[in-house]
Amino acid sequence: MREDLRIIANLIKRDARVLDLGCGSGDLLEHLAHAKNILGYGIENDTDEIAACIQRGINVVEHDLNEGLQRFPDKSFDMVIMTETLQAVDSPHQLLDEMLRIGEECIVTFPNFGYWGHRVRMLTSGNVPVSQPIPHRWFDTPNIRPCTFLDFEQLCEEKDLRVVQRLVFSSSYKTGSLMKRFPNLFGAIAFYRLGRAS
Amino acid sequence: MASEIPDNSVGLVKPLSHRFDSSITLQSGAKLPGFELVYETYGRLNEERNNAVLICHALSGHHHAAGYHTREDTKPGWWDNCIGPGKPIDTRHFYVLSLNNLGGCHGTTGPTSINPDTGEIYGPTFPTVTVKDWVQTQHMLAQTLGIDKFAAVIGGSLGGMQAMQWAIDYPDRVAHALLIACTPKLSAQNIAFNEIARFAISSDPEFYGGHYQTSGVNPERGLGLARMVGHVTYLSDDAMGARFGRELKSGDIALGQDVEFQVESYLHYQGETFSKLFDANTYILMTRALDYFDPAREFNDDLVRTLANAKAKFLVASFTSDWRFAPERSDTIVDALIAAGKDVISTTIESTFGHDSFLLPIPRYFGVIHAYMGRIARERDL
């Protein structure tokens, strides 16, 4: 089983109402439905991914995240999840506000652009880094908002978002003591569980 | 068409009819002393009786949704591109039922029928019929055919409203509701267009207050005009532009001619053809049913509560260029379904053809229907 799905499932209460932003073909929602009997909905705007959701019977709403989430009422979900999509939206800071408006909590993951491999590549070759979690070249990348652990936490502080939990992973969702001590240098994937400031 | 019927057609079909002899009370309180429904079926009801699909027609539709009545027919049923072996609604898996709704003019009891109480044609005295009444009578027909629960109830536009009403009124009898180019209620602008259509009909000197049939005439001009107005609202500016542009009929401007531009002659043709085939009182009745549709009204205008008892899973599809029932109207339904905790899949199909898109074989649209129906078939091992 995919490690990231297992990790997220462990953080979700049984029977929770879950919204998955950029749900892709619905792997996470399907897993959470089996593991935690959730009532889940995905938001997606890629027509092929939506077609896959339809095949699998995954609840999906065709919608562009860049148009905002105004259509969803306050506190209408227990958990709002956005995996590896934050770096690809127009206004990540506004979207985070929206996620915490409609959800009690949210889970956000993104590739850490401060990862040592990227730093080395920048220093040695002078090219914008290309790697497994960020596989595109600079001109056609959907990842228009690269950020690091450090950047993200600065934003959370500015916006008074409560970091309930922070996890650090390699690109294959393994973890280790070195990356736990120096996430911004050795973590490839940043994983945050956020809540509203009380 | 004729001698060669395509392989992926349901082939030659025969309309059937069922007569209900007991009277029913309609939503308006009016009683109808028995009635007849005309319908067609395609495919075969399986032993488990779990593969039945109901097709609900829109404003000017009828029971003849697929196949041909005779080998000489030039055109197949109105949704033949979507229903048949290998088509999105695959008759190798599903038993498809399509009927002409109460008040219709294609064989089902309606304004052109004889009122048994008076021995005269109903005409304008035919009672007001609502979407709820249609759903009730569709349910009665389903029971006579041994269908306890539909695998899916499917409809576009006014047909989508019926599918929605099914999920609300008979939650245990519909597994999936497919709402295409639909809306939870008409806007003031929608009602305005319908009223223009009705006024066009009633202003025709041959309308005689709806008693045209007994006077031996037909308000063809009024009905034709109603259809012309309707037609403009079914298309988009882009679709009309792409199809007709400012093309002239004769190739050159001849100021003062009756019909100068291609689009004019197209609209006149549409109006004329329609007015010869359709009944004016039925058109008025069907547009009224559209206007009155507002299931949330019974629930304090709360669409979430309206849908709270539904047990069906939903597919809601809309089209980007549809300005009659725009995608935002479908979004309203989707948002209410999510708030009510219902299973829903929602797509907005890119299309330039306006409201009419729901009748067209747009590849992505048909792909969505095909995939959704495929999933229903898999769930049931069909």
Contact yes or no for A71 and B339 at CB 8 A: no
Nearest to A54 among B334, B341, B372 (CB): B372
- pLDDT at B157 > cutoff 70: yes
Cβ-based neighbours of B105, under 8 Å, separated by 6 or more? B111, B112, B278, B279, B282
Kindly report the nearest CA distance between residue A110 and chain B, in angstroms: 27
Contact yes or no for A76 and B348 at CB 8 A: no
pLDDT bin (cut points 50, 70, 90) of residue A196 is: confident
**Which residues make beta-bridge pairs with A80?**
A19, A106
Cα gap B203→B229, rounded to integer Å? 15
Would you state the pLDDT for residue A92? 96
Chain B residues in contact with A55 by the CB 8 A cut-off are 371, 374-375
Would you state the pLDDT for residue A133? 66
The domain segmentation of chain B, as residue ranges, is: 16-185+295-379, 191-288
Overall average pLDDT of the A87-94 stretch: 95
Overall average pLDDT of the B172-201 stretch: 97
CATH fold of B16-185+295-379, please?
Rossmann fold (3.40.50)
- pLDDT at B198 > cutoff 90: yes
- pLDDT at B66 > cutoff 70: yes
Please indicate if any CB of chain A lies within 8 Å of the CB of B328: no
Determine how β-strand A189-196 pairs with β-strand A103-111: antiparallel
- pLDDT at A102 > cutoff 80: yes
- Four-point Cα dihedral B221, B224, B226, B228, nearest 10: -130
Could you say which residues from 111 to 130 on chain B have a Cβ atom under 8 Å away from some Cβ of chain A?
none
To the nearest whole percent, how much of chain B has pLDDT over 90?
A: 91
The CATH number of the structural domain formed by B191-288 is: 1.10.1740.110
Chain B residues in contact with A60 by the CB 8 A cut-off are 345-346
Contact yes or no for B345 and A58 at CB 8 A: yes
Is the torsion defined by CA of B269, B360, B14, B164 positive or negative? negative
Chain A residues in contact with B331 by the CB 8 A cut-off are 71
Nearest to B341 among A39, A51, A57 (CB): A39
Please indicate if any CB of chain A lies within 8 Å of the CB of B348: yes
* Per-residue pLDDT tens digits for A123-163: 999 988 877 767 888 898 888 999 999 999 999 999 999 99
- Which pTM was predicted? 0.95
* Per-residue pLDDT tens digits for B320-366: 999 999 999 999 999 999 999 999 999 999 999 999 999 999 999 99
- pLDDT at A97 > cutoff 60: yes
The CATH number of the structural domain formed by A3-113+145-196 is: 3.40.50.150
Contact yes or no for A51 and B375 at CB 8 A: no
- Amino acid identity for residue B206 in this structure: E
pLDDT bin (cut points 50, 70, 90) of residue B3 is: low
To the nearest whole percent, how much of chain A has pLDDT over 90?
A: 85
* Per-residue pLDDT tens digits for A1-23: 688 899 999 999 999 999 999 99
Cβ pair B244, B262 in contact under 8 A: yes
Would you state the pLDDT for residue A3? 87
Whole-number average pLDDT of chain A: 94
Q: Most A CBs within 10 Å: which of B180, B316, B342, B347, as the mutation test of the A interface?
A: B347
- pLDDT at B2 > cutoff 70: no
Cβ pair A137, A128 in contact under 8 A: yes
Cα gap B90→B8, rounded to integer Å? 10
Nearest to B343 among A47, A51, A59 (CB): A59
Catalytic residues of B: 157, 322, 355
* Per-residue pLDDT tens digits for B239-295: 889 888 888 877 776 666 666 788 898 899 999 999 999 999 999 999 999 999 999
Chain A residues in contact with B344 by the CB 8 A cut-off are 41, 59, 61
Contact yes or no for A54 and B346 at CB 8 A: no
Q: Is the ipTM of this complex over 0.90?
A: yes
pLDDT bin (cut points 50, 70, 90) of residue B140 is: very high
Which pairs from A73-76 meet CB under 8 Å and 24+ separation?
A: A73/A102, A73/B339, A74/A101, A74/A102, A75/A101, A75/A102, A75/A103, A75/A104, A76/A17, A76/A102, A76/A103, A76/B338, A76/B339
Tell me the residues of A at the B interface, defined by beta carbons under 8 Å apart: 17, 39, 41, 47, 50-51, 53-62, 71-73, 76
